[in-house]
Structure 1
Amino acid sequence: MTLIKSISGIRGTIGGPAGENLTPHDVVKFTTAYVRLISDRVVNRRPVIVVGRDARLSGQLVSDLVEGTLLASGADVINVGLCTTPGTEMAVITKHADGGIIITASHNPWQWNALKLLNADGEFLSAAEGQQVLALSGEESFDYPAIDGIGRVLSREDYNDEHIRRVLALPMVDVEAVRRRHYKVVVDAVNSVGGVVMPKLLRELGCEVVELNCEPTGEFAHNPEPLPEHLRGISEAVVREKADLGVVVDPDVDRLAFVSEDGTMFGEEYTLVSVADYILSEHPGNTVSNLSSTRALRDVTERRGGRYYASAVGEVNVTTKMKEVGAVIGGEGNGGVIYPELHYGRDALVGTALFLTWLTRRGMTLTQLRATYPAYYASKNRIELTPEIDVDKVLREVKERYSNEKVNDIDGVKIDFENSWVHLRKSNTEPIIRVYTEARSMEEADALAQRFIAEIREICR
């Protein structure tokens, strides 16, 4: 079906022809290229690579291929098994490894899998490093070490408990205050690794937990992207159980969404906004999110006396900008919270712990807390690409049409109007153009999206 090679890794559907889908051949080739990049930075010893995976059906198969290829390429392996993306990132840091490979296709459906590649800081490779891996994977032959040069498995160990421990130890997480509140929480972990870690974290915080889709079978109970149209089950469960809130994560637990006590969506975009509001209330400073994220973060940041910065889409772009401007909090509007005091990576565990602390300190319900933030409404749409569409030409044409408006072209084209915006960009992980809009009402946001979709189709004729 599809194989997508990008600077952030390799992603595709399992099986089929090599080079067109994610096959054993492609996994071995790309893993070999990655370990060659890492090996060039290590002197007089074997590189150490952490391997972790989510619970999707192909996870163990791909993990075995990755581990074997790393060993055959002369790397030592720390295998943390069933582990979240942020947990694997943290394991790289705390184990003093030279890199890491996370086996997850994140929000993609069950037939997909991917290799996400990390550096020694537990962060995604830079664009330049990703290009090096792509170039190395294109070489026709590899020179593997002889028997005395192969790697070994240093350990097979669970890292989830350590991740939880480090989250709860953060000064901004008020464990005792949250425990006294005794929240009742429904968790939807879409039958992946979130079902292992999220209930445990919440119980450590004194919550009564109702588990929904928490068996890590990899057989996703619904579309794994945490969007409102996929979350009717937990919305109904929150009301039925008379819960204080619902917590939703994607398969690798780097995205986080909340459901309010009345069954309405708190808003995936407002996950970061609310957590940032809490951090800024104690530590005023700068914030960063990507171009496709809500204006509400800018509004909250400025209200707290800080300055907001936008980055290109992609976690590595957000973290790079955060370091550049010394941001105290950042992330992405898809529910990705990046809190540098723990690590530079989107992390649903730290997002949940900080959010519950803020909710406790405010003494509010979720609907009350949500009402304290500027009301923006986002519409997220897509246009399927066909081979004859010249995306760059389309974006240039749109940019020219709106040259009198405030236009940002660091990542696709974003046009800021007085009370709304539209962001058009080619996806790095799927063969689509994303059309994201935001306005003061859902009707306005949808209308703006349809207007630009119609314009793009007109340009493509």
Structure 2
Amino acid sequence: MGRLFGTDGVRGRANADLTPELAMAVAVATAHTLAETDRSHPPLAVVGRDTRASGEMLEAAVVAGLASAGANVVRVGVLPTPAVAFLVGEAKADFGVMLSASHNPMPDNGIKIFAAGGQKLPDDIELQIEATIEADGAPARVRPTGAGIGRVHDLLDGAEHYIQHLVGSIGHSLTGLKVVVDCANGAAAEVAPVAYQEAGAEVIALNAEPDGLNINDDCGSNHLDGLQAAVLEHGAHLGIAHDGDADRCMAVTADGQQVDGDQIMAILALAMREAGTLTADTLVATVMSNLGLRLAMSAEGIRLVETRVGDRYVLDELRASGYALGGEQSGHIVLPAYATTGDGVLTGLHLMARMAATGRSLAELASVMTKLPQVLINVPVADRTVGAGASNVLAAVSQVEAELGETGRVLLRPSGTELLVRVMVEAATQQVAENAAERIAAEVRLASPAG
């Protein structure tokens, strides 16, 4: 068996790569692995999902697997990933399971596992779970019977607890702000509009009618065209877009301009520095963040710490060093004082609270940083390792880097969740960045043509 866990859990095409049998095996292995440290009581697990039709099937498999391993299960239904993490902590559960493929297309699904307190699993625990799956049945594992079988209960007011927590995290009413929120026909559909309304905003909900098949379908944080048009149509102060499991937040200004995760981090960093809550005047971001963020933070006397790509690495740095803000350009923003993982709705609330507190527009606030032209090409490949490491690809990267010198940079990396190699180039002009990125992408395609 190859490595199951990627940078954000186990993902694959539901019922093909990610089958009910695999989901059950992951659940059983997780229950046994995370219960090893404390056998004084049956483990308690919180299980949630996004709106994908396959989530119903996989939830049934996961719940069955957990109960068969002796774990008690609390089902919370359709909720954002950060809500499940929050409820793991609130319920003092031993772990949690979220069924979601985040921003991926509807046919995909995934399994995200949270440890006690709603924290993401460290690599060594993921490896233990994988080893347990490989070893299961050799020798055969003794299953509990009778009273030892886990029980399953439904939590009906999990969303209410979560929304109350979110709204309580901001210190300023959003009264007077009109916002269009694109819920991606996903897990934000019930939570985000209510949270923003309860905080005082006038809310227009977009793509908030999930049917199990339309999640992320030309909507949400990866597809901002519809949101941009709706903001202009309704004369809103801003638009906010979430992805399928609502752990991302992207924004749109009143005149329809995109505001990405880097700009949101810059806005929040200055707000927190002003409030005295930006620990060590430090922001944590990944190597994918725009050079403009680094320059803006440097000009403001804020230190930028870089990590590998992936919100888990941002989280690791935040926890290890006690920093108060971090995130990714893609809109995963982490505020550790209120959440253990990226939380799109929480981010949206704090972004709007900054607008309300200052009386400034989103465009004004975002102008703190100037984005360097940046081009990202996701190249489909048959083999991510070959696509990113072939000699012709590395030669092309070296040549482009030499041409750019100090005026730009190149970042080449295989995706952790899809058969893609990501080619990112920053340069002084858009045309230079596009040409350079396409040259490298062409070499990637030659090295590992997609099937």
Q: Is 2:408 aligned against 1:423?
A: no
Letter in 2 for 1:52: G
1:412 matched residue in structure 2? none
Q: Is 2:430 aligned against 1:442?
A: yes
Structure 2 gap segments, 5+ residues each? none
Residues 459 and 445 of structure 1: CA distance in aligned 2, closer, same or farther (over 3 Å)? same
Structure 1 gap segments, 5+ residues each? 407-414
Letter in 2 for 1:14: A
Task: Give the 3-state SS of the residue equivalent to 2:204 in structure 1.
Answer: strand
1:187 matched residue in structure 2? 181
After superposition, residues 14-413 of structure 1 pair within 5 angstroms as: 14-16=14-16, 21-141=17-137, 142-170=141-169, 173-176=170-173, 178-179=174-175, 182-220=176-214, 222-223=217-218, 226-227=221-222, 230-283=223-276, 284=278, 285-387=281-383, 390-391=386-387, 393-394=389-390, 398=394, 402=398
TM-superposed deviation, 1:428: 1.2
Between the two structures, name the one with larger relative contact order (CA 8 Å, sep ≥ 6): 2
Residues 42 and 445 of structure 1: CA distance in aligned 2, closer, same or farther (over 3 Å)? farther
Q: Is the 8 A contact 1:247 1:259 kept in 2?
A: yes
Task: Give the 3-state SS of the residue equivalent to 2:46 in structure 1.
Answer: strand
TM-superposed deviation, 1:249: 0.3
Q: Deviations over 1:407-431 (max 9, x none)?
A: xxxxxxxx99523222111111101
Residues 392 and 372 of structure 1: CA distance in aligned 2, closer, same or farther (over 3 Å)? closer
1:409 matched residue in structure 2? none
Determine the C-alpha separation between the residues in 2 that align with 1:422 and 1:369.
Answer: 28
Determine the C-alpha separation between the residues in 2 that align with 1:389 and 1:352.
Answer: 36
Letter in 2 for 1:220: N
Task: Give the 3-state SS of the residue equivalent to 1:148 in structure 2.
Answer: helix
Q: Deviations over 1:290-348 (max 9, x none)?
A: 12122343334333433211111222211111223332200111101100111221001
Determine the C-alpha separation between the residues in 2 that align with 1:61 and 1:270.
Answer: 38
Determine the C-alpha separation between the residues in 2 that align with 1:257 and 1:79.
Answer: 29
Residues 396 and 366 of structure 1: CA distance in aligned 2, closer, same or farther (over 3 Å)? same
TM-superposed deviation, 1:235: 1.3
Task: Give the 3-state SS of the residue equivalent to 2:135 in structure 1.
Answer: coil
Task: Give the 3-state SS of the residue equivalent to 2:118 in structure 1.
Answer: coil
Residues 25 and 368 of structure 1: CA distance in aligned 2, closer, same or farther (over 3 Å)? same
Letter in 2 for 1:431: L
Determine the C-alpha separation between the residues in 1 that align with 2:122 and 2:328.
Answer: 18
Task: Give the 3-state SS of the residue equivalent to 1:344 in structure 2.
Answer: coil
Determine the C-alpha separation between the residues in 2 that align with 1:345 and 1:327.
Answer: 14
Q: Deviations over 1:357-409 (max 9, x none)?
A: 11223322222322232232332211212249624633897289649979xxx
Moved more, 50-59 or 145-154: 145-154
Q: Is the 8 A contact 2:325 2:336 kept in 1?
A: yes
Alignment TM-score, normalising by the size of structure 2? 0.90
Task: Give the 3-state SS of the residue equivalent to 1:116 in structure 2.
Answer: strand
Q: Deviations over 1:171-200 (max 9, x none)?
A: xx2333x22xx1111111111121111111
Moved more, 38-47 or 152-161: 152-161
Determine the C-alpha separation between the residues in 1 that align with 2:183 and 2:86.
Answer: 21
Letter in 1 for 2:200: G
Determine the C-alpha separation between the residues in 2 that align with 1:439 and 1:397.
Answer: 19
Residues 418 and 184 of structure 1: CA distance in aligned 2, closer, same or farther (over 3 Å)? same
Determine the C-alpha separation between the residues in 1 that align with 2:269 and 2:95.
Answer: 29
State the Cα RMSD in Å.
Answer: 2.7
TM-superposed deviation, 1:437: 2.6
Residues 416 and 66 of structure 1: CA distance in aligned 2, closer, same or farther (over 3 Å)? farther
Q: Is the 8 A contact 2:261 2:328 kept in 1?
A: no
Alignment TM-score, normalising by the size of structure 1? 0.88
Q: Is the 8 A contact 1:82 1:158 kept in 2?
A: no
Task: Give the 3-state SS of the residue equivalent to 2:211 in structure 1.
Answer: coil
